[in-house]
């Protein structure tokens, strides 16, 4: 049986753009057992030939048939079993793992075959005994001498009982005593196995070899002719097995060796995960905060409605647009399906929103007067009172918000303020003698601040809430002297408001809508955006602020969302780059493992488990940190926005799944970690095999 057949093997290297032929045309078939020595001058191509046989280097052309199969066509599994069962290599410079003990080194390939550690050790100890080096079993390789290392390297190669043993200069670095002993060992092994050895020691070669192959000028000068009959030989199949349990040997050591890299990965994952958690928390929390914010404003209960009219300019194709007061019926019919709506006259020309007041001799004009249907806050808003109490529905009491209270250095609760306003009216008589009757309403009314409320402070202005009913009754008591005189009857400012033209300034060009309770508010405001009567227009200052807040929050959320995705991709890149760099840093060890028979998959696993450990640890801690961060940031934000949970990381339930966020996030993390760890390594695999294993 001939396990190795070489056919027209050619190997050239290109150095400085010049082709350098090392092997010209080598055809050989090796015997099944015995010690075959390859000799030749230094640089003649001996190691190159051996490396091609061991699958470490690829020939430029020609084929190497191992048991009838071209080894250059092997896939990862075949390549692994070729090394595990077929051809084992003893490297000139041993290529042992210095940090492992001699025993751990020797059992490694056997362990790769899936044999239990105990059985591997049993077999290995017998081998150590056969070479009488059992005293070395537990020594770290880095403490062994050259001769000892060479013996350990031979044991590691023979423990799997391979078909072929490939040895490059096994005695190259040893003294003559050691050299003879090693040759003795190889000769003994060659009784049952094919041993192919490279050597330049003529004496030893002629003494121990069964066959000698000489390489000269890229050609074989002495060798064996290929026996054509042997091409169609069938080989008894060996039972092939493989297990990746060997990686346990390296896991802990790798983790320790890579501690700097792991700490860096850990910290970047930690920072990244915490920010992703906080972003998600903000997305969820701000959405909820919006509906909370809407309810935290008393003025949400009223809105004004105006009507747009187009006026044709006579003798001209032009029209202009003007805003007028709609009739109460028009507004009523627009919103008739709403049970909690009342439509009222707008008093704001007389109780102007831009008026002034005096509190303890301190004047103030930087506030708004807002009417409330019910100042007793029976239906909504009582929870907003932070101090004092709701008022009563007459024009003697008011409620103010904190923004208003802050305008004064003293405490305003239960203080009296003097509300001042002046409004003039011009009644059109259509009478040339008195075309206009002018009247003036001068209000100077003392009111008591009964309560202070805390509203959603975003863009909120100082406000005084007064009772609409109270103000209406008050206006009904205010007589218009001149007009009463002209009309010769009692005529109040309230009467004027009702009777005046819809485009009279006193009408405020609008009517008021009050929501009696807020249960219909969402429905009302969404309806207000698309009215059936296109000439009507609803404006609500509170709603505008809320819309602004919503837009702001949602664009901020979107930005945060994109940010967290970028952060997440960033973490993965860092992870991938770090594991790639440690993969490349470890390429010598990886090359050795590949040559011993370790599959790519197991090598990836080794890096993967390390990354999983770091990432999962960072993930677990980031949950705690994010929770901590949330409880730290929320009180700060609640001071700013008066919203209790602006960040609300949905740890307990997400998308209806219990612990959904943690589970989904963990799955994504494991998936991307796998991807970003493996892809860069897969790109570089095998690219450095011959480079790292060439013994110079």
Binding residues (CB under 5 A) for Mg ion: these are: 47
Cα–Cα distance measured from residue 668 to residue 353, given in angstroms and rounded to the nearest whole number: 55
User: What number of chain residues touch ligand ADP (CB under 6 A)?
Assistant: 12
Least CB distance to Mg ion at residue 46 (A): 5
Q: Is the dihedral of CA 134, 139, 140, 142 positive or negative?
A: negative
Residue nearer to Mg ion on the CB measure, 198 or 637: 198
Sole window of 45-53, 261-269, 375-383, 601-609 interacting with ligand ADP (rule: CB under 6 A): 45-53
Residue nearer to ligand ADP on the CB measure, 47 or 478: 47
User: Per residue in 230-240, is it b (16+ CB within 10 Å) or e — as a string?
Assistant: eeeeeeeeeee
Least CB distance to Mg ion at residue 13 (A): 14
Least CB distance to ligand ADP at residue 252 (A): 35
Least CB distance to Mg ion at residue 189 (A): 21
Least CB distance to ligand ADP at residue 178 (A): 21
- CA nearest 243: which of 112, 375, 134? 112
Cα–Cα distance measured from residue 12 to residue 25, given in angstroms and rounded to the nearest whole number: 11
Residue nearer to Mg ion on the CB measure, 154 or 483: 154
Cα–Cα distance measured from residue 545 to residue 314, given in angstroms and rounded to the nearest whole number: 40
Q: Is 40 in the site for ligand ADP (CB under 6 A)?
A: yes
Residue nearer to ligand ADP on the CB measure, 39 or 538: 39
Residue nearer to ligand ADP on the CB measure, 46 or 151: 46
Least CB distance to Mg ion at residue 227 (A): 28
Q: Is 170 in the site for ligand ADP (CB under 6 A)?
A: no
Cα–Cα distance measured from residue 237 to residue 610, given in angstroms and rounded to the nearest whole number: 37
- Residue 313 near which of ligand ADP, Mg ion, none (CB within 5-8 Å, type-dependent): none
> For residue 446, what are the CA distances in angstroms to 358, 394, 397, 421?
9, 12, 9, 12
Choosing from 44, 199, 297, 521, the residue that interacts with ligand ADP (CB under 6 A) is: 44
Helices (H), 414-492: 468-476, 481-487
Distance of CA 689 to the CA centre of its chain: 35
Choosing from 2, 37, 47, 594, the residue that interacts with ligand ADP (CB under 6 A) is: 47
- Residue 45 near which of ligand ADP, Mg ion, none (CB within 5-8 Å, type-dependent): ligand ADP
Q: Is the dihedral of CA 111, 196, 75, 95 positive or negative?
A: positive
Q: Is 346 in the site for ligand ADP (CB under 6 A)?
A: no
Residue nearer to ligand ADP on the CB measure, 48 or 275: 48
Question: Cβ–Cβ contacts within 10 Å for residue 130, how many?
Answer: 13
> For residue 679, what are the CA distances in angstroms to 75, 674, 684?
18, 8, 9
Residue nearer to ligand ADP on the CB measure, 661 or 689: 689
**148 contact partners, CB below 8 Å, separation of at least 6:** 102, 133, 136
Residue nearer to ligand ADP on the CB measure, 626 or 689: 689
Choosing from 2, 5, 45, 475, the residue that interacts with ligand ADP (CB under 6 A) is: 45
Q: Is 370 in the site for ligand ADP (CB under 6 A)?
A: no
**602 contact partners, CB below 8 Å, separation of at least 6:** 112, 244, 246, 247
Q: Is 89 in the site for ligand ADP (CB under 6 A)?
A: no
Residue nearer to ligand ADP on the CB measure, 42 or 236: 42
The residue number with the shortest CB distance to ligand ADP is: 47
Q: Is 43 in the site for ligand ADP (CB under 6 A)?
A: yes
Q: Is 15 in the site for ligand ADP (CB under 6 A)?
A: yes
Q: Are 23 and 53 in contact (CB under 8 A)?
A: no
Choosing from 2, 29, 48, 299, the residue that interacts with ligand ADP (CB under 6 A) is: 48
Beta bridge partners of 441: 423
Q: Is 571 in the site for ligand ADP (CB under 6 A)?
A: no
Q: Is 22 in the site for ligand ADP (CB under 6 A)?
A: yes
Q: Are 595 and 108 in contact (CB under 8 A)?
A: no
Cα–Cα distance measured from residue 609 to residue 251, given in angstroms and rounded to the nearest whole number: 8
DSSP secondary structure, 540-569, as one string: -HHHHHHHHHHHHHHHHHHHHHHHHHHHHH
Site for ligand ADP in 209-248 (CB under 6 A): none
| Tokens standing for residue 476 | 């009904």
- CA nearest 366: which of 462, 436, 298? 462
- Residue 43 near which of ligand ADP, Mg ion, none (CB within 5-8 Å, type-dependent): ligand ADP
Least CB distance to Mg ion at residue 26 (A): 16
Q: Is 201 in the site for ligand ADP (CB under 6 A)?
A: no
Residue nearer to ligand ADP on the CB measure, 42 or 409: 42
Sole window of 14-22, 471-479, 566-574, 575-583 interacting with ligand ADP (rule: CB under 6 A): 14-22
**Pairing mode, strands 69-70 and 319-324:** unpaired
Beta bridge partners of 4: 66
- Residue 179 near which of ligand ADP, Mg ion, none (CB within 5-8 Å, type-dependent): none
Residue nearer to ligand ADP on the CB measure, 15 or 118: 15
Helices (H), 398-455: 402-405
Give the residues lining the site for ligand ADP (CB under 6 A).
Answer: 13, 15, 20, 22, 40, 42-48
């Amino acid at each position: 049986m001939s396990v190795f057949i070489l056919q027209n093997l050619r190997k050239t290297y290109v150095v400085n753009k010049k082709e350098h032929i090392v092997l010209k045309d080598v055809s050989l078939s090796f015997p099944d057992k015995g010690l075959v020595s390859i000799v030749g001058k230094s640089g003649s191509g001996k190691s190159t030939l051996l490396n091609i046989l061991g699958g470490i280097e690829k020939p430029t052309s020609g084929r190497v048939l191992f048991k009838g199969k071209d080894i250059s066509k092997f896939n990862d599994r075949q390549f692994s079993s070729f090394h595990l069962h077929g051809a084992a290599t003893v490297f000139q410079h041993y290529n042992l793992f210095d940090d492992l003990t001699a025993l751990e080194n020797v059992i490694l390939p056997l362990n790769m075959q899936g044999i239990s550690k105990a059985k591997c050790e049993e077999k290995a100890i017998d081998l150590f005994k056969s070479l009488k080096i059992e005293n070395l079993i537990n020594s770290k390789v880095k403490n062994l001498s050259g001769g000892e290392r060479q013996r350990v390297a031979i044991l590691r190669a023979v423990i799997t009982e391979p078909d072929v043993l490939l040895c490059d200069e096994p005695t190259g670095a040893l003294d003559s005593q050691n050299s003879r002993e090693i040759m003795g060992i190889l000769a003994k092994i060659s009784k049952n196995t094919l041993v192919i050895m490279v050597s330049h020691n003529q004496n030893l070669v002629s003494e121990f070899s069964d066959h000698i192959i000489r390489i000269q000028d890229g050609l074989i000068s002495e060798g064996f002719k290929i026996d054509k009959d042997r091409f169609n030989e069938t080989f008894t199949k060996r039972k092939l097995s493989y297990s990746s349990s060997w990686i346990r040997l390296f896991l802990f050591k790798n983790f320790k060796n890579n501690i700097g890299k792991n700490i860096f990965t850990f910290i970047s994952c930690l920072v990244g995960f915490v920010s992703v958690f906080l972003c998600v928390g903000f997305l969820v929390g701000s959405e909820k905060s919006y509906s909370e914010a809407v309810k935290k404003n008393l003025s949400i209960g009223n809105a004004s409605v105006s009507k747009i009219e187009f006026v044709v300019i006579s003798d001209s194709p032009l029209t202009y647009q003007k805003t007028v007061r709609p009739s109460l019926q028009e507004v009523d019919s627009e919103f008739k399906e709403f049970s909690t709506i009342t439509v009222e006259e707008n008093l704001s020309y007389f109780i102007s929103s831009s008026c002034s007041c005096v509190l303890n001799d301190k004047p103030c004009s930087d506030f708004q007067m807002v009417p409330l249907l019910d100042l007793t806050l029976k239906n909504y808003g009582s929870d907003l009172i932070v101090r004092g109490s709701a008022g009563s529905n007459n024009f003697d009491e008011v409620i103010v918000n904190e923004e208003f209270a802050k305008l004064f250095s003293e405490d305003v609760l239960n203080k009296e303020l003097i509300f001042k306003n002046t409004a003039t009216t011009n009644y059109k008589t259509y009478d040339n003698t008195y075309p206009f009757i002018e009247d003036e309403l001068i209000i100077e009314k003392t009111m008591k601040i009964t309560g202070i409320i805390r509203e959603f402070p975003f863009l909120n202005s100082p406000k005084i809430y007064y009772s609409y009913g109270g103000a209406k009754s008050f206006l009904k008591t205010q007589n218009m002297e001149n007009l009463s005189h002209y009309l010769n009857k009692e005529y109040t400012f309230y009467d004027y408001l009702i009777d005046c033209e819809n485009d009279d300034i006193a009408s405020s060009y609008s009517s008021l809508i009050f929501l009696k309770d807020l249960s219909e508010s969402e429905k009302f405001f969404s309806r207000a955006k698309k009215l059936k009567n296109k000439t009507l227009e609803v404006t609500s200052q509170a709603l505008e602020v809320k819309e602004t807040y919503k837009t702001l929050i949602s664009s901020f959320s979107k930005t945060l969302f994109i940010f967290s995705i970028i952060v997440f991709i960033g973490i993965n890149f860092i992870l991938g780059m770090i594991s790639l760099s440690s993969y490349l840093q470890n390429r010598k060890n990886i090359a050795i493992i590949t040559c011993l028979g370790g599959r790519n998959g197991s090598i990836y696993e080794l890096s993967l488990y390390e990354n999983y450990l770091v990432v999962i640890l960072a993930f677990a801690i980031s949950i705690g940190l994010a929770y901590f961060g949330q409880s730290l940031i929320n009180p700060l934000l609640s001071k700013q926005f008066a919203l209790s949970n602006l960040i609300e990381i949905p740890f307990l339930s997400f998308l209806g799944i219990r612990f959904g966020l943690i589970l989904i996030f963990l799955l994504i993390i494991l998936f991307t970690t796998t991807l970003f760890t493996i892809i860069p390594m897969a790109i570089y695999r095998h690219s450095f095999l011959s480079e790292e294993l060439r013994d110079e």
